[in-house]
Structure 1
Amino acid sequence: MNIRKAQTSDYDEIWELFSEVIKTEDSYVFKKTTPKKDLKKHWFAPYMETYVIEGNGKILGTYIIKPNQIGLGKHIANCSYMVHPNTQGKGVGKKLCEHSINVAQKESYKGIQFNIVVSTNKAAIALWKKFGFKIIGTTPNGYKHSTLGYVDTYIMFKQL
């Protein structure tokens, strides 16, 4: 598996992955009806860096890294990760997380914060905890899960 910066030529393949992940409405805030044109502002905005991980000639996952806030809060990074459902459980998320931590350190971020981790996304929470992220806050009923209704969300943080 190889991780590299995303290119404009990856747009359609990232959209295919993105749309597969959001269609379950169980881990991301995007509605399954999010139009393809919105991918640019959610995954390719000028203030973020987008990476992909490839294997066997296909994009298996992707992540973005950006400042969590503007101005005096820009020293903390924010990341979002997506792994194609067909490749979940094969170490793709782990490699993306490792890579993002390295990128954040190289770019002199002081920490990484995840603003909304759905409490029912047990696999992601366990992975983030393995990398030293801690739950630092809970938003009661912060997410409208497609099958479970309102569930809590977590804010997770890792000091760098």
Structure 2
Amino acid sequence: MAAGRTYPYSERQTLEEARSWWMEPPPGKTVVAADDAGTIVGSAKMGPNRPGRGAHVATASFIVDPAHQGKGAGRALGEHVLGWCRAEGFHGT
């Protein structure tokens, strides 16, 4: 994000500002991926794409620390999100 190639948020935002848009409220959720040492290397948030008639379709956002890219964190997050969406009954027609 700091390089400005992904999410369009200010590079000067505070942790509290970032928390308000990244921490997905119920019925959605936010998860992290950690390495073997317990260091957080990535995160994903997921939930309904839109309220009302769009609530049956899920959306998700992902972020992986560039120092840990290519090591499977993004794939693990994606697989977790897809499983969660299926288990929660999201579907598109």
TM-score by length of 2: 0.89
Q: 1:103-140: per-residue Cα shift (whole Å, max 9, x none)?
A: 000000004xxxxxxxxxxxxxxxxxxxxxxxxxxxxx
Between Structure 1 and Structure 2, which shows a larger proportion of strand residues? 1
Report the Cα distance in structure 1 between the residues aligned to 2:67 and 2:16, rounded to whole angstroms.
24
Q: Which runs of 5+ in 1 are unaligned?
A: 1-21, 112-158
Q: In structure 1, what is the equivalent of residue 51 of structure 2?
A: 70
Q: In structure 1, what is the equivalent of residue 4 of structure 2?
A: 25
Q: Which runs of 4+ in 1 moved over 6 A?
A: none
Q: In structure 1, what is the equivalent of residue 20 of structure 2?
A: 41
Using the aligned pairs only, state the percent identity. 30
Tell me, yes or no, if the aligned pair for 2:32 and 2:40 is still in contact at 8 Å: yes
Amino acid at match of 1:98: E
Which stretch shifts more, 48-57 or 101-110?
Answer: 48-57
Q: Out of 99, 103, 107, which is 2:84 matched to?
A: 103
Matches within 5 A, 1:73-152: 73-111=54-92
* CA apart distance, 1:69: 0.3
Q: Which runs of 5+ in 2 are unaligned?
A: none
Which stretch shifts more, 86-95 or 37-46?
Answer: 37-46
TM-score by length of 1: 0.53
SS of 2:70's partner is coil
Report the Cα distance in structure 2 between the residues aligned to 1:102 and 1:45, rounded to whole angstroms.
17
Q: Out of 58, 75, 78, which is 2:39 matched to?
A: 58
Amino acid at match of 2:74: G
Q: Which structure has the larger Rg?
A: 1
- Please give the root-mean-square deviation of Cα atoms over the aligned residues, in Å: 1.4
Report the Cα distance in structure 1 between the residues aligned to 2:81 and 2:66, rounded to whole angstroms.
20
